[in-house]
Amino acid sequence: MSKTLFPPSLHERNQSSLTNLITSLAKIPGLGTRSAKRMVYHLLGAKDQSLNQLIDKLTYLRDHARPCQRCFNICFAEICDICANPNRDQNLLCVVEKPQNVEAIEKSAAYHGRYHVIGGLLSVFDGITPEDLNIEAIRRRITEENIKEVIFALPATQDGRTTLHMITDMLLDMPVQISIPAQGMPLGSDIDYLDQGTLMTAFKGRKPL
Amino acid sequence: MSKTLFPPSLHERNQSSLTNLITSLAKIPGLGTRSAKRMVYHLLGAKDQSLNQLIDKLTYLRDHARPCQRCFNICFAEICDICANPNRDQNLLCVVEKPQNVEAIEKSAAYHGRYHVIGGLLSVFDGITPEDLNIEAIRRRITEENIKEVIFALPATQDGRTTLHMITDMLLDMPVQISIPAQGMPLGSDIDYLDQGTLMTAFKGRKPL
């Protein structure tokens, strides 16, 4: 019997590293305890290199992902591929809350200009102030990049509207058209969860504010 | 303009590492594309050390998790904490399909013996033969550990029944009581998804085969 080789304290610590991993995975939005558990056991049981590959990919992300210096989208260089693409409409700027929104709008192919990711919404509840968001850079970009129209594709929520009005007030003296996507975005919705058709309609039917 | 610094090929490769990660996460049982996406963007956006901690925990798992040399449960030493615990009922052995089943049964507190994880079920469809499973070791354990009763807590599916009969046939000449948990496990069910009460009833009401 090799019992004495494995005092309970050591076992508890080791076993809890499995529980720990499941608990921290379960806290990630999009996962729950059940999914986290299935995920971990699958990775441990997989005969292929799944776990290795996952660690490599997460490490690459940690070491290389950073905000685009121009639009603050997630990027693996100084400037993201959308900002660096000369074929995008240079006169249009679309302001969104977060990187996921860029992905959703790109997928809809409803828009061919550039983006500006402000990185959140003003919120009294969460204590998010204008200084926490990438708002300052919008004025500079309008001038430097000769932007003619700024489309605000922010969520149709209270915080979204507050943020929209705060930024548009700041742009009152600038020579740009300000617009919002047409009705079609359901109230209280998260842009990521809209279907491509709705996004397409909303962008095509955008109207001056 | 720094356009020339970032040829499309480089951008495509970099951007696709995000897509790659999402795609490989989405393939893991318990996740889907939507959850994988939310997970990755959350990790990238988190101001805390979530991503770092996740990588550390997965790496620890990859480097230290291995099958228990005795029961084949997931373990971080030679022998798992259940096998090494002298307070478990030494005469009872519970045969299960996979490590998750051990966790579910432990949570129900319906059983206080030891386990044997066979690591799958016989399946003509998936080409799983007795050699792919940890079956050989059961006979040896019965003798060496002086087991008096073997409880088969395998799924109530076709493959589960085939596996049960194959192993019990193999144990016909051994001086052990063979039993299965009482009716109470719903047909076609996965042991992980049963509630504690059902498992408790099933273990308490187990009957000789």
Q: Which residues contact B122 (CB under 8 A, 6 or more apart)?
A: B128, B129, B130, B133, B159, B162, B163, B166
Q: Find, among A73, A147, A155, the residue nearest to A116 by Cα.
A: A73
Q: Does residue B25 register a pLDDT over 80?
A: yes
Burial class (CB in 10 A: 0-12, 13-18, 19+), A122: buried
The listed range with the strongest mean pLDDT (A183-187, B34-38, B40-44, B134-138) is B134-138
Cα three-residue angle B53-A81-A51, rounded to 5 degrees: 30
Reported as a pLDDT band with limits 50, 70 and 90, residue A176 is: very high
- Which carries the bigger pLDDT value, residue B40 or residue B157? B40
Q: Whole-model pTM?
A: 0.69
Nearest Cβ partner for B84 among A6, A18, A60: A6
Residues 24 through 63 of chain A touching chain B, CB cutoff 8 Å: 24-25, 28-31, 34-45, 50-55, 57-62
CA dist A137 and B29 (Å) reads 42
Q: How far is A207 from chain B (nearest CA, A)?
A: 30
Q: How far, in Å, are A59, B33, B72 from residue A30 at the CA level?
A: 20, 10, 31
- Which carries the bigger pLDDT value, residue B88 or residue B32? B88
CA dist A174 and A143 (Å) reads 9
Nearest Cβ partner for B76 among A15, A30, A50: A15
Q: Report ipTM for this prediction.
A: 0.70
Q: Does residue A162 register a pLDDT over 50?
A: yes
Percentage, residues of chain A above pLDDT 70 = 86
Mean pLDDT of chain B: 84
pLDDT of residue A194: 76
Residues 144 through 203 of chain B touching chain A, CB cutoff 8 Å: 192
- The answer to whether the Cβ–Cβ distance between B21 and A81 falls below 8 Å is no
